[in-house]
Each structure stands twice: as structure tokens, then as C-alpha cells.
Amino acid sequence: MKKVSAILLCLLLLCGCSNNIDLIGDIPPDEDLTPVKGGEVRLFCDVPDTLNPIVTGYKSVGEVMYLVYDGLFRTENDFSATPVLSSGYSANAGNTQYVVRLKKSIKFHDGSDFGAEDVVATFENIRKVSSKYNVNLSNVSSCVAQSDGSVVFNLATPQSNFVNLLDFPIMPSEAGADAYVIENRYFTPIGTGKFKVETMVPHKLTLTRYEDYHGDKPYVENVSVTYVKDTSIAKYSFEAMEFDVITTDLYSWGDTSMSGDFATDEYESNRLTYLGFDCANTVLSDASVRKALSTAIDKTEIVTHVMFTHAAPAWSPVNPNAYFADNDYVHTVYERGKAKEILKSAGWLDLDGDGVLDKYFDEQQLSLSFNLIVNSENDDAVRLASYLAEHMLQEGIRLNIVGLPYWQYVAAIGNGEFDMFIGRTDISNDCDVSFMLSHGSNKNFFRYGSSAMEGALYNIHVAEGAHGIKNAYKSFDTVFKDECPFVPLYFETDAVFTSVRIKGDMNISRTGVFTGMYNTFVKYKD
């Protein structure tokens, strides 16, 4: 995670300079300041459909509500799980049952006691409604409160890193079914989080520090949250220093209109962009050809010239920040001309002099010429496709770019109407990639199947402890390299921009932007 000043950020946006930049300028470094309790942070969010974070349809509302609510765990940047309402957990040998122990003497903001029944009630209500947390809990067959105050999650299939998915907000069991109705605009948030609701008016929410909070208490005393109907208003208000925090959800990378004094915390997201293959294609069914094609891709240059450094090269589907990622294991090393030499040694030659390599299969001449499907509405994807087409042609590989509007693009991939495609997916906080690679999965668009891969994925699911998980992912990397069902390209980076008023560390986690906002401060000793 990187903190960058406004002046250098503008250069970064324009030129794509190095990520290793420290905060500079006339503002004293945060580490030289002594924080003092008090002050207010000014935030904004969309006009809420509801303030219930389980069912709201607005990401900005859900992010703000993590100031009011806690989850059992918080998933950190390295994909480790930090206990929040939980005091720890244990899993059985097959990772099909997790016993989560809860902290004692925690109270909700209304004074009621937090306990196992609240966890179970929240889980059961998530199952009944449309929620972004549904997919994370889809493998849970039952959630049961125990007499000792713990909660047991029984899973349908083995799943390591399951506790990373237990970061959903826990609500009091007394909240009835009406609380989970998205049309309930009068829902009053009551959680166990660092801040509690002070006032609610039609255009604004005011939060105040919860003095009985069970964990690290924030320095900030109050948080005001203004509702905005138009995100452009939020941009202007941030530049005018009326709001203190804004994210790349509103300010996309490359937006050179940014002005004012601010800093940014940049962090790698879970969003993976990749080059997908049709592994049932006569030519692409050969793993050695797929591997050769992958060597024609300079991922570092893509990150620099296509994503303007706002991404991290992906050497595998496993996020490079994960504590179990084997970042010393290099899958493919780009070297100009290397792919062509590998292919030529395998019998691929330019038989007709058109610059594209050919080979005979059963007396039929086939060429390394492929249709590449791309979402024409995604500027990054279009730019990436053009880059790949230009550079692969130098290796004797022709990519015919087929740009399609989003829904046609989705349909073409779902129907297998492609040779290759530029894909983009969000990998969950447990870093499980089986949804892309398991035979028969509805997200395995590659028509790929392998007993070795099935075995590697299973070993990840049943791996025990950090050491076992590391070894399982290392074995997975070996299989993935050998079979190359698709080419991971990069993980995008996101950022949180903060005004000059905000000091300290935002402690951004993969669970949410505001989940660790206890070292942030706005008041300090002179």
C-alpha cells in the first residue's frame, strides 16, 4: 500500500511513474505528529436505499456502514484473517466444519449483549435476501450456536481460508424481517463497531465514537456522512475540501482534472484481468502451444504502458500479496522472439509467407491466427487487446480483435464463440480460484479439464494451517504453469484519496476501506 502526495499523484496519473513514492511537500510527515483524540471526518455516500449493509445496493453505503458494524473477521491485504468479534477458530481435518469462538462482554450500541445467536440470525437472514454476501456463504449447509457461546459453520464441501469470508456485518438478532427489506429507508443501524449513530436526517448521517468499543478505539470523535445524488458533486466537494475521503470508484486512474491538497493510499485489488483460451480449439488444446503463447506477453510492460503502473503483474491467479503466494516461482519469462523460437522448434513455420506461423494437422494447414473477443465498452480492455495484437504479431501470432458491446461479449464467452478473450474477474477474499478451473464449473469458460488440476484444487481446499496452505498453492502453481489454461495478466490497483486534514494510517483491508480506521486522526499536538 502506497501513500502519495497530490503533486506526485498528478505526475503518476499523467506519466505512470514508479509506485515507490513517499509523501512530500510542506505538510509534516504523519509519523512526526502526535495524535490527539477529537475532531471530525467528513464522508459521503449515495442516497441510501437502506442503511442495512447486508442488503443495500450501494457499495458506498456498505463501506460507510463498516464504521458502525463489525464482522467476525477482517481480511487483511495479505489475505490473512484478523479476528474482530471472534477470538479465534478451529477447523476439522477436512475443512468441512469451522468452530468460531466469540469474544466476551461485547455490547451493541443499544446496550444489548452480542452473542452467538446474533451471528446465526445474521447468517439466516443473509440466506433469505438478495445480498452481496450470498455467494460467500453459498457453501455453508448450516450455522449453529453452541452452548459454550461459539458458532459452528458446517460446509457442504472442503474449503480452506473460509474464515476470510466471515467478514460480513453482524446485526442484532432482535432485528426483525423488516430490517432486511431494502425499501426500509427508516432502518436505524445498530452495530458493535467503532462508531454509533448519533443523528439521522433525510440528507445526512452523523456518527460518534463508541466509547465502549471492544477493540482499538479511534482517535476521531465524529464522522459526518452526507448523502449525494450525483457523484460528480462529490468530486467537486472533495476538491473544495468539503469531504475528506474519495476512492477510485469515482476518480478513475488517468483522471487528470484532480486538484487540491490530498494524498492517496494505493492498494492491489482482487480484480484479475487475464487472456482466456478456448482449450477445445484444435490448436489451443495443446498445452505446449498455450505455454508458448504466454511467453509472448510482457506483463511488466502491459502494467506500465497499458495500465499506467496502476496494476501488479499476475504470474498466477493467486494474488501476489497473499501470504501463501509463491512469488519466487516464475511462470514465464518474456524475451522477444522466444515464443517464435519455441513454436518453430515444435514444427510451426510460416508456410505461406504472411508472417503468421502455420502447421499441418491431418493434411490440413492451420495457422496461429485467432479471434480475440473484447468488451468494446471497457477502454482498458480495448487498449490491452491492441497491445497484445501488435506484439504477438512479432512472434508470428495473429490476433483478430472482435470488439463487442458488453452483453454481446458476455453471451459470446458463455456460448464459447471465441478463440481467445480478454477476461476480468473478482476473486473472493478466500483466494479460491476453483470457480474458474474446476471441470464443469459455470465460470470455467475455457472448456478446460484436467485431473491434475482437480487434484491440486482439492489439496488447497483441505490444506491445514498456514504451512499446509502455502505448500498446496505451490503445488497448484506447478500444475497451472504446466497446463496454462489461461494467462493471468495483472491485478488492478485501487486507491483511497484523503484530504490534507487526514493524518495517520487508514489501515485499508480487503474487507473494506473503513474497517481499520482507528489510527486515522485529524487533531494533533503542535
Q: Taking 90 as the threshold, does the pLDDT of residue 15 lie above it?
A: no
Cell of 198: 448519533
Find out whether 373 and 418 touch, Cβ atoms under 8 Å.
yes
pLDDT bucket at 14, cuts 50 / 70 / 90: very low
Average pLDDT on 313-321 reads 93
- Residue at 20 is within a domain: no
CA torsion angle for 448, 449, 452, 458 (degrees, to 10)? 100
pLDDT of residue 335: 82
- Residue at 106 is within a domain: yes
Together in a domain, 253 and 312: no
Give CA–CA dist 280/227, Å, rounded.
Answer: 50
Give CA–CA dist 370/62, Å, rounded.
Answer: 42
Most distant CA pair in the chain: distance in Å? 82
Together in a domain, 297 and 246: no
Q: Taking 90 as the threshold, does the pLDDT of residue 32 lie above it?
A: no
Q: Taking 70 as the threshold, does the pLDDT of residue 108 lie above it?
A: yes
Average pLDDT on 35-60 reads 94
Work out the percent of the chain whose per-residue pLDDT is above 90.
77
CATH number of the domain at 398, please.
3.10.105.10
CATH number of the domain at 165, please.
3.40.190.10
pLDDT in tens, 175-230: 877 888 887 778 999 999 999 999 999 899 999 999 999 999 999 999 999 999 88
pLDDT bucket at 172, cuts 50 / 70 / 90: very high
**Domain of 53?**
33-261+500-524
The half-sphere exposure of 254 on its side-chain side, counting CA atoms within 13 A, is 11
Residue 32 has what DSSP assignment? G
Together in a domain, 110 and 242: yes
pLDDT bucket at 23, cuts 50 / 70 / 90: very low
State the DSSP string of 258-314.
--SSEEEEEEEEEEEEEEEE-TTSTTTT-HHHHHHHHTT--HHHHHHHTSTT-EEE-
This prediction's pTM: 0.90
Together in a domain, 192 and 308: no
Residue 180 has what DSSP assignment? G
- Residue at 15 is within a domain: no
Together in a domain, 446 and 484: yes
Per-residue buried b or exposed e for 423-453, using 16+ beta carbons within 10 Å of the residue's own CB: bbbebbbbbbbbebbbeeeeebbbebebeeb
Together in a domain, 177 and 233: yes
Average pLDDT on 22-48 reads 77
pLDDT of residue 331: 55
Out of 173-182, 310-319, 357-366, least confident range? 173-182
- DSSP-derived 3-state class of residue 215: coil
What is the average pLDDT value for the chain, to the nearest integer? 90
Cell of 277: 483460451
pLDDT of residue 285: 96
CA torsion angle for 374, 375, 379, 383 (degrees, to 10)? 0
- Residue at 172 is within a domain: yes
Together in a domain, 250 and 356: no
Find out whether 106 and 214 touch, Cβ atoms under 8 Å.
yes
Give CA–CA dist 369/357, Å, rounded.
Answer: 8
Out of 43-52, 130-139, 330-339, least confident range? 330-339
pLDDT of residue 230: 82
pLDDT in tens, 252-306: 555 545 556 788 888 889 999 999 999 999 999 999 999 999 999 999 999 999 9
- DSSP-derived 3-state class of residue 438: coil
Which amino acid, one-letter code, is at 259?
S
Together in a domain, 172 and 254: yes
The half-sphere exposure of 297 on its side-chain side, counting CA atoms within 13 A, is 28
- Residue at 228 is within a domain: yes
Out of 53-57, 166-170, 332-336, 360-364, least confident range? 332-336
pLDDT of residue 25: 40
Residue 206 has what DSSP assignment? E
Which amino acid, one-letter code, is at 334?
Y
- Comparison of pLDDT for 490 and 309, the residue scoring more: 490
Average pLDDT on 449-468 reads 96
Average pLDDT on 37-54 reads 95
Out of 29-33, 199-203, 370-374, 511-515, least confident range? 29-33
Together in a domain, 301 and 361: yes
> Helix-strand-coil percent breakdown of the chain, rounded to 5?
25, 25, 50
Together in a domain, 249 and 310: no
Domain count, the chain: 2
Q: Taking 90 as the threshold, does the pLDDT of residue 18 lie above it?
A: no
Q: Taking 90 as the threshold, does the pLDDT of residue 376 lie above it?
A: yes
- Residue 232: phi and psi, rounded to 5, are -65, -30
- Residue at 13 is within a domain: no
Give CA–CA dist 225/243, Å, rounded.
Answer: 9
Give CA–CA dist 503/27, Å, rounded.
Answer: 10
Q: What Å distances lie between residue 81 and 16, 162, 388, CA to CA? A: 32, 10, 37
The half-sphere exposure of 315 on its side-chain side, counting CA atoms within 13 A, is 19
Out of 61-75, 133-147, 183-197, 271-285, least confident range? 183-197
- Residue at 372 is within a domain: yes
Together in a domain, 342 and 315: yes
pLDDT of residue 12: 37
pLDDT of residue 224: 97
Alpha helices (runs of H) in 404-450, residue ranges in sequence order:
406-414, 434-437
In which residue are the cell numbers 437502506 written? 50
- Residue at 374 is within a domain: yes
Give CA–CA dist 477/469, Å, rounded.
Answer: 12
Closest CA to 484 of 323, 297, 307: 297
Residue 48 has what DSSP assignment? P
Together in a domain, 180 and 280: no
pLDDT of residue 495: 87
